[in-house]
Amino acid sequence: MSQCSKMRHSRNQWKETSKPGGKGERYERREKARMKAEHDQLTQALKASETRVRELAAPLSGLATRPQVDVVHLARQLFLEARISFRAVSRVLALLAWALGIQQVPCRQTLIKWVIRLPLVRIDAARPWRGLPLDPAPFATA
């Protein structure tokens, strides 16, 4: 065999061995591209649907939430008027949280802080009115 025919023969052998491998790689590349496009499309659809759900749920959740001032007032009333402990107030608010629209139930320490601040605020409010009687204290037994 001449050098030229040997080279042509070795080239043909190389081509024959590489064609099946290349065919599999090309198929795999097309499948990956198709799966990536499908995944991207599904991700976009999911984000769009989540956005739509949030838009539809926003008015409902906005109406159900209760301002912090109302929660503080209710907790104080339960402690001062109903005369239950701070721990019990926290438990009652936890039971009523869904119905009242309370997102986070205050703990016992938070309730103590709220009730302690009430007299401090009343004392500060009374300073300019020296000599005038204060409103009845919330702890009065009468």
Instruction: Say whether both 50 and 78 belong to one domain.
Output: no
Task: Output the pLDDT for position 6.
Answer: 67
Residue 39 has pLDDT above 90, yes or no: yes
Q: What percent of the chain has pLDDT over 70?
A: 73
* Residue with more model confidence, 2 or 23: 23
Examine the domain organization and report whether 84 and 47 are in the same domain. no
What is the pLDDT, as a whole number, of residue 124? 67
List, as one string, the DSSP characters of 49-95. Answer: HHHHHHHHHHHHHHHH---HHHHHHHHHHHHHTS---HHHHHHHHHH
120 and 84 belong to one structural domain = yes
Domain end point (choices 15, 36, 64): 64
Same domain as 4, residue 34:
yes
Considering the entire predicted model, what is its pTM? 0.41
Both 50 and 87 in a single domain?
Answer: no
On average, the pLDDT of the chain sits at 79
* Predicted pLDDT at 62: 52
Domain range for 21 is 1-64
Both 79 and 110 in one domain: the answer is yes
Q: Please tell me which of 3-7, 37-41, 84-88, 91-95 the model is most confident about, judged by mean pLDDT.
A: 37-41
Whether 140 is in a domain gets the answer no
- Residues 69 and 43 occupy one common structural domain: no
pLDDT tens, 46-103? 999 999 998 887 766 554 556 777 888 888 888 888 888 999 999 999 998 888 878 8
Angle separating helix axes 86-100 and 68-80, nearest 10 degrees: 140
Does residue 139 belong to any structural domain of this protein?
no
Asked if residue 106 is part of any domain, the answer here is: yes
Give the chain's domain count: 2
Alpha-carbon gap, residue 137 to 89, rounded angstroms: 20
Quick one: pLDDT at residue 63?
47
* Cα–Cα distance, 101 to 104 (Å, whole number): 9
Domain closes at, from 64, 81, 116: 64
Q: Are residues 107 and 70 in the same domain?
A: yes
The residue length of the chain stands at: 142
Asked which of 23, 46, 64 is the last residue of a domain, the reply is: 64
